[in-house]
């Protein structure tokens, strides 16, 4: 969504703001946004980005609570079982929300039955980064090195079945290389080990690594978007770098436990719409390599179902498992 459309939609949503508030006294106490991964990744970035704006919009403190582990399942389970009163919400990462149901026989939660869609938040492509000491200058040299040394390279992900895991496997398929997968409990720990030289490569959202790229602590080789990112204009797309068909993005959205009152869901959606229309918030998102996107609860529900089916096909075709 461009900035003009976001502002127009937020104005429409905002016109119903007083009526929504008049229906009840929600929120009367702090609201918690649960992040199912460790601090430092794009899910965490998105949660903290929206929390500040929602604190002002709702008139109550909005707290970010990181609950990593179980490839996202621990945080998702927590919110799925929470009281459906609008005070415990999930900032969902697409790799977990629509990937895990296809990877775990007993994830402990269901993306459709256990959650009520509230609002879309942000989208982000992936960026291919390596440790600077690896000695490759571009994506072509990385592929050549991997082919010359099969099995020597490894790549990090934020967990089995995450978008980073899927991206790594798709990269291997498209380039005919063999690179070992090393799963972590979130992007933050993976980035730390990448900078420390414990792993060689990471395909992740820009917000997770943009600071390290600009500081020269990590080397960006390509972005998985159709065009270059304004935040990383010097980094070519994967197509420009010689790997065609490797386009991929992640999305981050807000969900509530099933049973949350519709008026609370609508109030939260309106608050998010107003937040995403803020120029300052949009600027911060763009600087981190993400873009804001607004959806109604119904639109997010339909989008979730379509993404669930799509990623099920991708995961099956790639033979990816949670083991």
Percent of the chain with pLDDT over 70: 92
Q: Which residue would you say has higher pLDDT here, 311 or 259?
A: 259
Give per-residue pLDDT as tens, 135-174: 999 999 999 999 999 999 999 998 777 788 889 988 998 9
pTM of structure: 0.80
- Give the helix/strand (H/E) hosting 145: helix 139-148
Total Cβ atoms within 10 A of residue 237: 19
H or E stretch at 90: strand 88-93
Segment 180-184 shows an average pLDDT of: 93
pLDDT tens column, 10-43: 444 444 333 333 345 899 999 999 999 989 889 9
Could you tell me the fold of the domain covering 127-223? D-Maltodextrin-Binding Protein; domain 2 (3.40.190)
Mean pLDDT in residue range 235-243: 96
- Classified as helix, coil or strand, 115 is strand
Q: Quick check: 8 pLDDT over 90?
A: no
Fold held by 3-124+251-318: D-Maltodextrin-Binding Protein; domain 2 (3.40.190)
Burial class (CB in 10 A: 0-12, 13-18, 19+), 59: exposed
Task: State the pLDDT at residue 315.
Answer: 85
Q: What is the pLDDT of residues 102-146, one digit of tens each?
A: 989 889 999 999 999 999 999 999 999 999 999 999 999 999 999
Domain boundaries, the chain: 3-124+251-318, 127-223
218 and 194 in contact (C-beta within 8 Å)?
Answer: yes
DSSP state of 114: S
Separation between Cα atoms, residue 165 and residue 170, nearest integer Å = 9
Fold matches, 3-124+251-318 and 127-223: yes
């Amino acid at each position: 969504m461009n900035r003009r459309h976001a502002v127009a939609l937020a104005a429409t949503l905002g016109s119903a703001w007083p009526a929504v508030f008049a229906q009840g006294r929600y929120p009367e106490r702090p609201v918690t946004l649960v992040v199912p991964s460790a601090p430092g990744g794009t899910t965490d970035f998105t949660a903290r980005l929206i929390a500040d704006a929602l604190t002002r919009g709702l008139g109550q403190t909005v707290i970010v609570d990181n609950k990593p582990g179980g490839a996202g399942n621990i945080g998702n389970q927590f919110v799925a079982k929470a009281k459906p009163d609008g005070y415990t919400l999930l900032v969902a990462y697409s790799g977990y929300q629509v990937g895990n149901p296809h990877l775990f026989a007993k994830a402990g939660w269901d993306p459709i039955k256990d959650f009520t869609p509230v609002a879309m938040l942000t989208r982000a492509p992936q960026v291919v980064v390596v440790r600077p000491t690896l000695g490759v200058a571009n994506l072509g040299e990385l592929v050549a090195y991997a082919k010359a040394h099969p099995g020597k390279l490894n790549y990090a992900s934020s967990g089995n079945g995450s978008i980073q895991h899927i991206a790594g496997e798709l990269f291997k398929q498209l380039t005919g290389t063999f690179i070992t997968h090393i799963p972590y409990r979130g992007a933050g720990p993976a980035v730390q080990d990448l900078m420390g030289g414990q792993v060689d490569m990471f395909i992740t959202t820009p917000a997770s690594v943009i600071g390290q790229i600009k500081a020269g602590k990590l080397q960006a080789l390509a972005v998985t978007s159709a065009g270059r990112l304004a935040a990383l204009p010097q980094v070519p797309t994967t197509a420009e770098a010689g790997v065609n068909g490797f386009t991929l993005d992640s999305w981050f959205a807000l969900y509530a436990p099933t049973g949350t009152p519709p008026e609370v869901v609508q109030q939260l959606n309106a608050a998010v719409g107003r937040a995403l229309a803020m120029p300052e918030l949009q600027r911060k998102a763009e600087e981190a390599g993400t873009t804001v996107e607004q959806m109604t609860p119904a639109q997010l529900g339909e989008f979730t179902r379509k993404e669930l089916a799509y990623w099920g096909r991708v995961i099956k075709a790639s033979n990816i498992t949670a083991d």
